[in-house]
Chains A and B, each alone.
Chain A
Amino acid sequence: MKSLYKIVALAAVSTLATSCFNKEKPNYQLFPNMYESVAYETYSESSAFKNGKEGQVPAQGSVPRGFTPEEYPNTPAGLAAARLNSKSPLDSITSGDLDKAKQLYTIYCAICHGDAGDGKGNLVKREKFLGVPSYAERELTEGGIYHVVTYGLNAMGSHKNQLTQTERWMVAAYVLKLKSEL
């Protein structure tokens, strides 16, 4: 009997000790000495900035090391010029690069354009929205694709946040390959 009391008491204590945890809230912390960063962490909020965000926009016209500003502006004229004149800086697209390009295409493009580039991506098939053309219907150049991926066109948004310049050129090469297979 005595041991039963002990078991019940122990169970009660452990229930009591663990019952204060609320799943909707972060749990209690024991001496959170270095849990919160003293330095600014990426994407953190801070009242030190006007918009409250740690991520501040760099000064207009500044160029970071290892980056070349886009040659063609985000205008219909720029697109037309890019279609004609813009060339891939990549010397050659090897099969390894194509694998990488395929992965990038599958991640960022295939959801609308379809794995084969036929305009029948999952979102189109499920009729979330329509009007995605097949690559076969369009006249494409490498520079044009790069320009569209960089700035977007009509319903398509810019993808320069997702893909680096090199990656965009790789995707452009892969799109041309898909087009040739359609």
Chain B
Amino acid sequence: MSSHYEAPIRKPLVIGDKSYHDITVDVARPVETRANKQWWTVFTIALIAFLWGAGCMVYTIGTGIGTWGLNKTVGWAWDITNFVWWVGIGHAGTLISAVLLLFRQKWRMAINRSAEAMTIFSVVQAGLFPIIHMGRPWLAYWVLPMPNQFGSLWVNFNSPLLWDVFAISTYLSVSLVFWWTGLLPDFAMLRDRAVTPFSKRIYSTLSFGWSGRAKDWQRFEEVSLVLAGLATPLVLSVHTIVSFDFATSVIPGWHTTILPPYFVAGAIFSGFAMVNTLLIIMRKVVSLEDYITIQHIELMNIIVMITGSVVGIAYITELWVAWYSGVEYEQYAFLNRATGPYWWSYWLMMTCNVISPQVMWFKKIRTSILGSFIISIIVNIGMWFERFVIIVTSLHRDYLPSSWTMFQPTFVDAGIYIGTIGFFFVLFLLYSRTFPVIAQAEVKTILKSSGENYKKKRENENHSHNH
């Protein structure tokens, strides 16, 4: 015990007098018990929202994109706004599981599972939009470079929309594999604890026969590290590619080189906010407060604050460059954002994204559950408006004043967005009752270094040595 050195300044990551078995029991509890009434209520609401959204999608595809509020000038609005928003939210999961792994952040272990689940479920939501916003979605398979009977007619690899296809599909598959690999020991734990033949069967299938031998663990760690190394450039490039949809255009307000890093920062910003929203509820509902501690929330708040400041700097940079450029179109684009007909969305975005994360400088707020929860929601509203502002205000007024127009969403636009939120929560709620929401195998590796009881024990030993 005393041979281990950890700085006494570090606060415990696992609270309470936990043993390995306690962790197992705590993590397995939501899976092994029955869902309560609240769960069913929330699930039903989410399901209804999802079904309503699915109906709106079917209506759109069956009737046409004209059911949306798009017009000839504003050809992208809520569809791509929601797409970018969901992709952005997904990025936090990979950030937590990959980047924080590379930086050896032990606090990621209690949150990475749910963050990755969030990634996967939100990328699924994001993935819907590129399909349903197509005029002829049944020909969506044409975006794939497949040999065919049109003289092997291929796609043009110059479009960022095609890069989106590759980026999103790669991102989803890598995230899924990364998530599932990490799940193997935890599924094996559930398999070994299963009492009914049905759940035994299910979890033995899901765990791929994990037996936890030394060689398996060694390879498991290597795979995790390699995947983390792969996922990190992936996560940066995916949102970069998404930003290229705008940055490579000639539209004033879109054509900026700052977009790739600024979008990625925004993605981390909104993603961590979403993780916070979900985990603040989850730790309470499934009683995992000992694992997802206030320290975890504080650290996520700090990341929200940092990335929020990066986004703030990006806003100021854009404004500076617009003024400095001497391009009247560019200058007008930003004047229009601030004072045009969509001024309210711009100032809402500015308030939510620039001011709200700055309150995290106050320890009182960043260590307050309620404060973090409210800010996390505000951030996601702000980040939705960021995408909306970038897309719509740049499109509705650009080069030709004769093409200036307004954008008004219809109930179908809203219905699909609500539907994806519903679908996300349907998946997340199902996940939280069937999957081990905390990577117990990983938490067990930090128990003896960062568990409260072990830290106390070490402290006492050190004191006795010093005397």
Interface of A toward B, CB cutoff 8 Å: 31, 33
B7 CB-CB contact with A under 8 Å:
no
**Cα(A33)–Cα(B138), bound, Å:** 11
How many contacting A-B pairs (Cβ < 8 A)?
A: 4
| Whole-angstrom CA separation of A33 from B139 in the bound complex | 11
- A selection of 4 A-B contacts at a CB cut-off of 8 Å is A31-B136, A31-B138, A31-B139, A33-B136
Shortest Cβ distance from B136 into A: residue:
A33
Nearest B-chain residue to A30, judged by Cβ: B138
Nearest residue, chain A, Cβ from B139? A31
A143 to chain B, nearest CB (A): 53
Within 8 A of A (CB), among B102-143: 136, 138-139
Cα-based distance from A31 to B138 in the complex (angstroms): 8
Cα distance, A33 to B64, chains bound together (Å): 13
B63 to chain A, nearest CB (A): 15
Q: Give per-residue flags for B231-254: 1 if the beta carbon is below 8 A from chain A beta carbons, else 0.
A: 000000000000000000000000
Chain B: minimal CB distance from A33 (Å): 7
Residues of B with C-beta under 8 A to A33: 136
Q: Chain A residues with Cβ under 8 A from B136's Cβ?
A: 31, 33
In the assembled complex, the Cα of A139 lies from the Cα of B136 at a distance in Å of: 69
Measured between alpha carbons, how far is A151 from B135 in the docked complex, in Å? 55
CA–CA, A31 and B139, complex, Å: 9
For the complex, give the distance between the alpha carbons of A92 and B71 in Å: 62
**A33 to B, closest residue via Cβ:** B136
- The 4 A-B residue pairs with the shortest CB-CB distance, nearest first, are A31-B138, A33-B136, A31-B139, A31-B136
CA A33 – CA B135 in complex, angstroms? 12
- Shortest C-beta distance, A126 to chain B (Å), equals 43
User: What are the interface flags for B137-152 relative to A under an 8 Å C-beta threshold, 1 for contact and 0 otherwise?
Assistant: 0110000000000000
- Chain B nearest CB, measured from A75 CB (Å): 57
Give the CA-CA distance A33 to B136 in the complex, in Å: 9
- What's the Cα separation between A33 and B134 when bound, in Å? 15
Q: Tell me the bound Cα distance from A9 to B467 in angstroms.
A: 78
Contacts of B139 in A (CB 8 A): 31
Alpha-carbon gap, A160 to B25, bound state (A): 96
CB distance from A31 to the nearest CB of B (A): 5
- Give CA–CA (A31, B61) in the complex, Å: 13
Residues of B within 8 A of A31 (CB): 136, 138-139
> For the complex, what is the distance from the CA of A31 to the CA of B140, rounded to whole Å?
12
B57: min CB distance to chain A, Å: 18
